[in-house]
A and B are shown apart, each in its own frame.
Chain A
Amino acid sequence: MSKPIIATASLAGCFGCHMSFLDIDERILDLVELVHWGKSPINDIKTFQQDCDIALIEGGCCNDEHIHTLREFRKHCRVLVAVGECAIMGGLPAMRNNIPIKECLEEAYLNSPSTSDANPDRILPNDEELPMLLDKVYPCHEIVKMDYFLPGCPPRADLIYGALTALVTGQEAELPYEVIKFD
């Protein structure tokens, strides 16, 4: 049987979950024995070369590009894992969900102390290359079906490693009390 292929993506997140993943330290060598790497910011492969078995998704969806990426992952990956607070509930970006999007943009680009002088023409970013912002920040499971959830901000490296090796080897994940934390 060929090795399973792992892909990863960061949507509206801070890359902290990927950093935490790298915190598995030398155990990454054990993992390399078990898996192949597909599309991921870790190896900088930008498109799907082939379908993957397991995908780790960090971050929620706050613009249309995130939605597109997430749907691509659902199409090309067998098991989607929501990693971290942002992927599971929107996290820090979702704190804007109760503020109208117009107010958010005006605060960021027109009214804040650091931008009011730097933006004399009072322009809101409007280049067509830019992804469109959504009305709210959505957790991943509200866009596509997610299969597993690893909570934390970021999830402990031991949690990611334990869950990932369990998924790869088909065993039950051992998740002791200390590794499941929401912060």
Chain B
Amino acid sequence: MSEDMNGGMDNTLTDPLSSTNLMSLTIDGQEIQAEKGQTIVQAAQKNGIYIPTLCALHADKESGLKHDLAPGTCRICTVKANGRTTAACTTPISQGLVVENDTPELNDLRKTIVELLFVEGNHFCPSCEKSGSCDLQALAYRYQMLTPRFHYAFTPRKVNADMPKLLWDGNRCILCRRCVLAIRTEEGEPLFVFANRGDKSTITVDTELIQDISEELAQQAMDICPVGAIIRKGKGFDTPFGQRKYDHSPIGSDTACSSGENKAGGEKS
């Protein structure tokens, strides 16, 4: 669904007067142009506007992806498109689209999603190797979550430590589907798959294929996971405090456009 979505969207409206493939839209009142067929998240990224994502991921050098991912599973990118609430990573742009993104209402909604993810899994940040470089944690910092406003579920989750190069910790998994879509063998076979349904959904690993994955693929699996659910064995806490990804500036600071309000309270860094 993900890779195909971005290529196969022909139901978008085009401007009859325009001879190019460019479409104009506004995000938070700022007029931008993007190519027909792109999603709102892609259009925003291209124009340096930050929309938070946990499941969607851009294809670039850092991610090592050939295609953008847009599974639409986490809903943290929820925006209002022409007044209607929708996931920005799965919604294609259209000519004249009006997008609300960085508003108090939507940011509170996103904070609520982060809080729900925190109480649903068992996110013990102090004991997690990904702490400081974790997207979920960074979003909690960005939205200044001091504590979730819901009760912790302490859901029992499995840990799979049988793999030679990787450790999978269900306590931290947010079921974003990035690993399912992106981590594949050279023949294109998936190494991670979804199992079960509803609140019993989980990730299972192809025990045969995972045996002889390369070091690069193992590292990509760890990097692509937005939380600390996929960890390379023998790696541990290898980055000192103060040098980790989100130690000094909030997530999204590198892309956030000029608007001062576009950035979180942590702007002072």
Binding site for B on A (CB under 8 A): 82, 85, 88-92, 94-95, 97-98, 136, 139, 141-142, 148-151, 153, 175-178, 180-183
Interface string of B115-129 (1 = CB under 8 A from A): 000000010111110
Q: From A95, A149, A175, A183, give the contact of B125 (CB < 8 A).
A: A183
B144 at the interface (CB under 8 A from A): yes
Q: How many angstroms from the CA of A153 to the CA of B145 in the assembled complex?
A: 15
Question: What residue of chain A has the Cβ atom nearest to residue B147's Cβ?
Answer: A149
B126/A91 in contact, CB under 8 A: yes
A136-B141 in contact given A85-B126, A92-B124 (Cβ < 8 Å): no
B234 at the interface (CB under 8 A from A): no
Determine how close the nearest CB of chain A comes to the CB of B152; give it in whole angstroms.
6
Determine how close the nearest CB of chain B comes to the CB of A48; give it in whole angstroms.
26
B248/A92 in contact, CB under 8 A: no
A85/B147 in contact, CB under 8 A: no
A92/B141 in contact, CB under 8 A: no
B264 at the interface (CB under 8 A from A): yes
Determine how close the nearest CB of chain B comes to the CB of A60; give it in whole angstroms.
10
A136/B154 in contact, CB under 8 A: yes
Q: From B126, B264, B267, give the contact of A183 (CB < 8 A).
A: B126
Q: How many angstroms from the CA of A141 to the CA of B146 in the assembled complex?
A: 13
A85-B125 in contact given A90-B152, A139-B152 (Cβ < 8 Å): yes
Binding site for A on B (CB under 8 A): 122, 124-128, 131-132, 137, 140-141, 144-147, 151-152, 154, 156-157, 247-250, 264-269
Determine how close the nearest CB of chain B comes to the CB of A86; give it in whole angstroms.
10
A98-B154 in contact given A85-B125, A183-B126 (Cβ < 8 Å): yes
Tell me which residues across on chain A come within 8 A of B124, comparing CB atoms. Answer: 85, 89, 91-92, 94-95
Tell me which residues across on chain B come within 8 A of A141, comparing CB atoms. Answer: 147
Interface of B, helix, strand, loop or mixed by DSSP: loop
B127/A149 in contact, CB under 8 A: no
Tell me which residues across on chain A come within 8 A of B145, comparing CB atoms. Answer: 151
A177/B249 in contact, CB under 8 A: yes
B154/A176 in contact, CB under 8 A: no
Give the 7 A-B residue pairs with the shortest CB-CB distance, closest first: A177-B266, A182-B125, A153-B126, A149-B147, A98-B156, A149-B146, A183-B126
Question: What residue of chain B has the Cβ atom nearest to residue A136's Cβ?
Answer: B154
Q: What 13 new A-B contacts, CB under 8 Å, besides A98-B154, A175-B144?
A: A85-B124, A88-B147, A92-B124, A92-B126, A98-B122, A136-B154, A148-B146, A151-B146, A176-B266, A177-B141, A177-B267, A178-B266, A178-B269
Determine how close the nearest CB of chain B comes to the CB of A155; give it in whole angstroms.
10
Determine how close the nearest CB of chain B comes to the CB of A96; give it in whole angstroms.
10
Question: What residue of chain B has the Cβ atom nearest to residue A181's Cβ?
Answer: B141
Tell me which residues across on chain B come within 8 A of A89, comparing CB atoms. Answer: 124, 147, 152
A95/B127 in contact, CB under 8 A: yes
Q: List 6 A-B contacts (CB under 8 A).
A: A85-B125, A88-B147, A94-B124, A97-B122, A149-B146, A182-B126
Determine how close the nearest CB of chain A comes to the CB of B36; give it in whole angstroms.
38
